[in-house]
Amino acid sequence: MDNFRALRIDEQDGKIVAAFKTLSIDDLTEGNVVVRVSHSTINYKDALAATGTGRILRRYPLNGGIDLAGVVVSSEDVEFPPGTAVLVNGCGLSETVDGGYSEYARLDGKSLVPIPEGMTAAEAMQIGTAGYTAALAIHRMEQNAQTPDLGPVVVTGATGGVGSIAIDMLAGRGYEVAAVTGKAAEEAYLREIGAARILLRDQIDLGKRPMEKAEWAGAIDNLGGDYLTWLTRTMLYGGNIASIGLAASPALNTTVLPFILRAVCLLGINSVETPHDLRRAVWARIGNDLKPQHLATIGHRTIAFDELPGAFQAYLDGTVTGRTVVEIS
């Protein structure tokens, strides 16, 4: 197999450096399936890893990218013969094994998921880890008796990848969705993808008491910190909060009162280490009842592989809306 390009992240003299390198298959971390990667995407976590702003990689060097989609070119796994269209999200990509910012990837077959029928590789990456995480949150909430008739579901970090796709999926399932955002200019975008209400972050009274007026039947939270605390204070009886991110803060300052007196349930969502069977079940739902209806709006940016290094800063600055697809090969 010929040499190929990858965006490789390394630690040099105590600094994190991401640069294009020419590699061979033997340079990649071990695996029993080789995939020619056609598409990847950008997540906030990818930007942290590539710029060194966050310590994401647990070993160096590794190829960046926590998502990939492509076609199997060689395989020792009978479930994934050559020619199979596959995707991978999480599963240690760009943390412990080489990631998707590479023209080829060598992977453990247990990390692969068939791309759902009727979905292209580009669409799979419009969804990617962000959409999978949103779907996993909804799946967990519905396993815990969440239904549209219980009342509105609020989504924080609404214009980001997870937030945008969560709004789309929830609305498609019949939920009334409220979107929390710091970007007043994006109201039309949020309404287009399914939000019924828009709450501006700086206009929310976060409250001070352990419990405030109950309003939300469910929540998907990307922020953490004071906003997650506010959600615990304002949930209706039996409400589910899916905790996904900590863009505002990892802190949670609350009491046990909402959890005891209102039976509030705090669900931790880990999209990296999801058991294989659950991962495949959630992706099957993404291809079916959780299939986003507004991917063209949410995933409207496509960039070339060469443009990737210059795209990370906007994610760190918080100026990105929706999703970006990266054409690898």
Q: Which CATH architecture has domain 129-268?
A: 3-Layer(aba) Sandwich (3.40)
pLDDT (0 to 100) of residue 234:
98
Are 205 and 226 in contact, with CB atoms under 8 Å apart? no
Closest to 180 (Cα-Cα) out of 205, 165, 162, 159: 159
What's the CA gap between 38 and 76, in Å, rounded? Answer: 21
Nearest residue to 320 (alpha-carbon basis) of 312, 328, 310: 312
Tell whether the model's pLDDT for residue 243 goes beyond 90.
yes
Q: What percent of the chain has pLDDT over 90?
A: 96
Give CATH 3.90.180.10 domain extents, the chain. 4-115+299-327
Helices (H) and strands (E) in the chain, counts: 9, 16
Side-chain-side CA neighbours of 33 within 13 Å: the count stands at 25
Per DSSP, helices labelled H in the chain are: 44-51, 121-143, 161-172, 187-192, 225-234, 257-261, 276-286, 295-298, 312-317
Question: Rg of the chain over CA atoms, in angstroms?
Answer: 20
What SS3 class is residue 220?
A: strand
User: Looking at residues 65-82, what average pLDDT do you find?
Assistant: 98
What's the whole-model pTM score? Answer: 0.94
List every span in the chain annotated with CATH 3.40.50.720: 129-268
Mean per-residue pLDDT, 166-183: 97
User: Alpha carbon of 60 to those of 15, 96, 139, 278: distances in Å?
Assistant: 12, 9, 34, 30
CA distances from 232 to 36, 101, 265 (A): 45, 38, 9
Interval 14-69: pLDDT, tens: 899 999 999 999 999 999 999 999 999 999 999 999 999 998 999 999 999 999 99
* Mean pLDDT across 74-82: 97
**So what's the pLDDT on residue 318?**
87
* Rounded distance between C-alpha atoms, residue 165 and residue 127, angstroms: 8
Q: Are 99 and 127 in contact (CB under 8 A)?
A: no
Average pLDDT over residues 164-182: 98
Res. 247 pLDDT band, cuts 50 70 90: confident
Alpha carbon distance 134, 108 (integer Å):
24
Asked if CATH classification 3.40.50.2300 holds for the domain at 4-115+299-327, the reply, yes or no, is: no
Query: Hunting for tokens 């990296």 — which residue is that?
Result: 272
DSSP 3-state percent helix, strand, coil across the chain (nearest 5): 35, 30, 40
Amino acid 1: pLDDT = 67
Q: Is there a contact between 97 and 89 (Cβ–Cβ < 8 Å)?
A: no
List Cα–Cα distances, 5 to 37, 70, 122, 278, in angstroms. 11, 15, 20, 33
Are 224 and 243 spatial neighbours (Cβ–Cβ below 8 Å)?
yes
Cβ contact 243:268 at 8 Å: yes
What phi and psi, each to the nearest 5 degrees, are found at residue 95?
A: -125, -55
